[in-house]
Amino acid sequence: MEKLDLNNMYFDFCIWNYEDITHEDITRMLEITPSIVYVKGQRIRPNIPRLSKQNGWILKNPLDNKSLFEDQLNAMLDLLEPKIEILQMLSKKYGCEYEFSLALFIYNRKESTPWVHLTPRYNEFIRQIEVEFDLDLYCPPDDEEMSETE
């Protein structure tokens, strides 16, 4: 397996748990095309037999996954801040739940670990719209560490 040289960060905005509205309706209202949608009871991906437990509308960050977190956060807020009133209505009327999902993959321990700083701009956004922040940290073992412990 080829070892990756740099750490990666995946930052998404997710809308979950809507029942009385479709992902097409959400897309039309927000005027933003999602990167992925999950339909409750259908396969998450064609090649994965696991079924989605809930409806989901996921927007992947428009920047490269090696971009600084602050840049990714600002790019996402640039897309979402103009839609605050629509997001508030979706939450109130349809029970939509919002989540920022951040997955950090630490492949190279010699490289500086990416920092995650939630800015005042972010704080203002979540003050207006209740958004959970989900952080997953993945640190696969180095090849050298694996050989030392075997």
pLDDT in tens, 6-31: 788 899 999 999 999 999 999 999 99
Q: Residue 93 is part of which domain span?
A: 9-149
Give the SS3 label for residue 87.
Answer: helix
In a domain, 102, yes or no: yes
The answer to whether 98 and 15 are in contact (CB under 8 A) is yes
In a domain, 2, yes or no: no
Tokens of 62: 């428009």
Q: So what's the pLDDT on residue 1?
A: 37
Which contiguous run of DSSP H or E holds residue 128?
helix 120-128
Span 89-116, pLDDT tens digits: 999 999 999 999 999 988 877 767 778 8
In a domain, 4, yes or no: no
Residue 142 pLDDT level (bands cut at 50, 70, 90): low
The answer to whether 71 and 114 are in contact (CB under 8 A) is no
Residue 44 pLDDT level (bands cut at 50, 70, 90): confident
Count CB atoms within 10 A of the CB of residue 41: 10
Task: Provide the number of structural domains found in the chain.
Answer: 1
Q: So what's the pLDDT on residue 143?
A: 56
